[in-house]
Every structure is written in structure tokens, then in C-alpha cells.
Amino acid sequence: MPPERKRMAGLWEREVGGLPPRNFANAFMASKDFVQSLSIHKRLRKHRGCVNTISFNGDGRLLLSGADDRTVVLWNWVEAVPTVSFHTGHSNNVLHAQFMPFSDDRSIVTCAGDGEVRHSQIQEGGHATTDKLVELEFAVHRFAVEPGSPYTFYCCCEDSSVWLFDLRGKNAVELFKCRAADHFTADATELFAIAIDPMKPYCFAVAGSDEYVRIYDTRKIRLDGNSIFGHPTEHFCPPHLISENKDGITGLAYSQTSELLASYSHDNIYLFSREHGLHFNNIEVDERLLMDGTNPLSCCRDELPIPKTFNGHQNQHTIKGVNFLGPNCDYVTSGSDCGRIFIWRKKDGELIRVMTGDKHIVNCVEQHPSGIVVASSGIDKDIKIWEPGEGENPSIAPVDKVEEDMWLSSSSDSDGFFYNDDLEYAMDLDDIYVYGNGDEHSSEEDEDTSSEEDDDGDNSAKEDNDGDNSAAGEGGADCENSAEDVSDG
């Protein structure tokens, strides 16, 4: 049956009650039509800085966000209004925030560029109390919450440490430090990403400033003397990057079937399965084995299976996540340095859609746990809610314009600055995602400036629309794309 007739048959079954609502939603979200019909339907405005983290609660009624203004906001995203907002107590940009499961959405953990991990509890009336669980010397970028546990979670830090937290006793234990695998020295690997395998919650992956994704089994983390030591049970790396020491990883995401996405800073996004593991291929990895290009690993590159590749986006300027879309992880999505959202089909790596999501850079793309909704955020102060149907703008970037923007990337500055015609200034990227420049805000200050920010938000809406309309031309920078066609939906 042609696709159009299949859609009409599905709509008819749904209308007469023959197709349950959840099954209908899942079937639609798994279709190419879902991807091509997304457009911006709402903009959530409250923050006064870059929005670095967004996540839905378990049933999808609430959206949690954290930003450079060091606040977190709980949103009723359907009505596009904040239900609770509070200052976290962090002295630097909030980099990640998550609801703890089975806490009635009142228990929230946050980490930030100040090296602190904090626990906030929302009381009756919306008042929030915060406690500092640990303070480290370097930025803490990401959490991984143990599935089904309202108390335990892991985090990774720029000093290479991995920590385990238990909120019942407010305990914080450093499990181990992740050492670089390509030097004789004990150089640390800065960690930017951590994710727990949903099928094997005793296993988690970490990645950072080198090319290797490391898998750890908590059952095998042992006590050696007075210190806790962990040795990876598996390593993943695209064959052509082995021993190169030229790249790093900013984002990790597990699928429902333990497939693992890794987003590289100067390369592509790769999908690893069990058969791509170096240990699985009888290659034992240690500090000496990966020292230089003459080691056994570099000699067996051609014999290793090549993971599925998703290319076209750029990921050099901020710490970007990567994610799956669809009820069965049917698609892969990521933000990009050019302010666009890229969506690929997982089964063959085809680039399906490129759409404008930010005037500057998109860092986060998150899917609703059950509904046909996607949220995105980045350098802009607002959060975009994407749903099927006509919205503000289709915001589609034709592939030829994306390739044109690749040429514009030659204007990038090698000292950590990038230039974009829409920005009209150079932006120091260190200030974007880690280091805050402003003074600490009090809740009173937030209250006093909220009306002013609302006015700014009204003005920014017009700017955003202008950005959407111009993005296909000179607005974007630094994007490249190897796909031959992107549908305009």
C-alpha cells in the first residue's frame, strides 16, 4: 500500500477506535512524516543566559531546564509557562540538571562549571532548598541517574574523576580517575559525557578529551588498598581514529537495545554495538598499547568493523549532546555549531532533515518520553518546542545551503573564536559553556529583572524569526553535509 494510503488507513483506524492512541503515536513517531512535519510551536522564555540542559520528567508533563544564569526552571511546556524557578546556589553556569525518579518531581540534582554537585528539593508552595553534595576543582558536565532509583546517580568531571552519589546519606564517593590511554604518563582524560546502559544498568560509558569510549561494570570496580579502582571492560573507537590522539567526545547516548552513540568534536557521530568493541575483537587496551602509531592497534585498523556513521553537523565550539528520536530509537539527532538541528535515519545513516533551531548554536535536543514532541536549546535564551504541523516557521535548511555554510567555516578563528554574520561580533567560546562572567544573582534580582526580560523576550521572538528566515543563507557557519538530498517536508 502506498505511504499516503497507509497514513489514511491509520487515521481511519484511530478515528473509529481500532488503533490505540499510544500505538498510533508510536507509529507516527517512527515514520519519516514525523521528522518532516516538525516545526516550532512554542518558545519557553524565562532564562537570562544560554540554556545548557533540558529534560522531561517521567510522564512528560514537565520540562526541566538549567542555564548560564545559574537558575533552573520547571515548565508546564503545554501552556509555555514556568511553574517553579529558583537559583541553584551554583556560582557558575548550570551544565546539567535532572529529576530524580519516583520523587514526585521534587528532587533535582544539578552540576555546574564551578565544580559543585547540588541537590535541590522543592517544598510545598514552590520554595526550593539546596544542598551542596561535593565541590571539585574542575567543571562537572554530566549526570547519569541509575534507572528506577530515586537516590543514586553518577557524574563525570573535567579532572577525569567519576563519582557515585547516594542521596539517602548525602554520600559522595570518588570511584576512580580515568587516565589517558595513549601515553606512558598518567595524564588525565577530561570527561564530558556519561551514560548508563538501560539493558544493563550496572554498566556505564564515559568519554571525554580522547577518542575512546570506555565501558565500566560497577560489579568489577574493586577496592585496592585505600583507593577505589576501576578498569574498563570495553573500549570503542572508530578504526581510523585509533592512536591518533586528535579528537574528543562530547556526547553519549544509549538506545533501548544497548547501542551507543558517540559524538566526536572534529569528526562525526558513530553508532557502536557490541561487535565494535576492541576487547570483543581480542584487542586488550592498556596505557602502553595505545602509545603511538606503531602499536598493534594501528596495525589492525583494517580488520575492525566500521561503525555506522552520521555526518554533516559541526561540533567544535561547545559541549553538545547527541540523542535518539522515535519510539524505537529510529532516528539520531544532534545540534550543530551553525544553529541547526540535524536528524538522520538510524538504519542507514541518511540525513533526513536539517532545521534551524538557534541563531547561534544548538546544544540540546530532547524527545518527550511518550508524546510527539521534541525540545531544543542552545545559545539563545529560550527553549523551542517542536511538534508536527504548521508552526512559526518550517525552518528547513536546504542541503545546498548547508554545503555553502561549510565554505563559510573558513572564517573561523583558530584561537577559540568563531564568526557568524548573524552575530555581528566574535564570541569567546570559553564563556559560552563553562565560565560565567557575571556576578552571582540573588532571587530578588531575578524577580526585579523578570519583567525587563519578558520585554526582551518579545523582541527576541522577532529576531529569532528573522534568524529562521535567514539561516538558509548567510546566517549559519561551520556546517558540512555529505548527504545528497534533504527533504523540505
User: Each residue of 378-434: pLDDT tens digit?
Assistant: 999 999 999 988 777 555 555 445 545 544 443 444 333 333 333 332 333 333 333
**What digits encode the pLDDT tens for the residues 272-287?**
999 999 999 888 776 4
- Around Cβ 177, how many Cβ atoms within 10 Å? 18
Q: How far is CA 165 from the centre of its chain?
A: 22
Distance CA 362, CA 339 (A): 5
| Position with higher pLDDT, 218 vs 427 | 218
Query: How far is it, in rounded angstroms, from Cα 325 to Cα 36?
Result: 13
Lowest mean pLDDT, pick from 54-58, 221-225, 342-346:
221-225
Q: Which helix (H) or strand (E) holds 451?
A: helix 443-470
CB count, 10 Å around CB of 270?
Answer: 24
SS3 at position 395: coil
In percent, how much of the chain has pLDDT > 70?
A: 68
Q: Which residue has the higher pLDDT, 23 or 86?
A: 86
pTM score: 0.78
* Cα 305 off chain centre by: 26
Decide if pLDDT at 165 tops 90: yes
Looking at CATH, the fold of the domain delimited by 38-475 is given as Methylamine Dehydrogenase; Chain H (2.130.10)
Q: Which amino acid is at 240?
A: H
- The angle subtended at Cα 98 by Cα 95 and Cα 103, nearest 5°, is 155
Q: How confident is the model at residue 64 (pLDDT cuts 50, 70, 90)?
A: very high
Say whether pLDDT at 341 is over 70. yes
How far apart CA 101 and CA 15 sit, in angstroms, is 35
Distance of CA 299 to the CA centre of its chain: 34
Per-domain residue ranges of the chain: 1-30, 38-475
Helix (H, G, I), strand (E, B) or coil at 186: coil
Taking the C-alpha atoms of residue 312 and residue 406, their distance in angstroms, rounded to an integer, is 9
Cell of 148: 528506577
Rounded Cα distance between 340 and 325, Å, is 16
Mutual angle of helices 21-29 and 3-15, in 10-degree steps: 160
Rounded to the nearest 5 percent, the helix, strand and coil shares of the chain are 20, 35, 45
pLDDT at position 20: 61
Helical (H) or strand (E) element with 343: strand 340-345
224 bridge partner residues: 227
Higher pLDDT, 458 or 28: 28
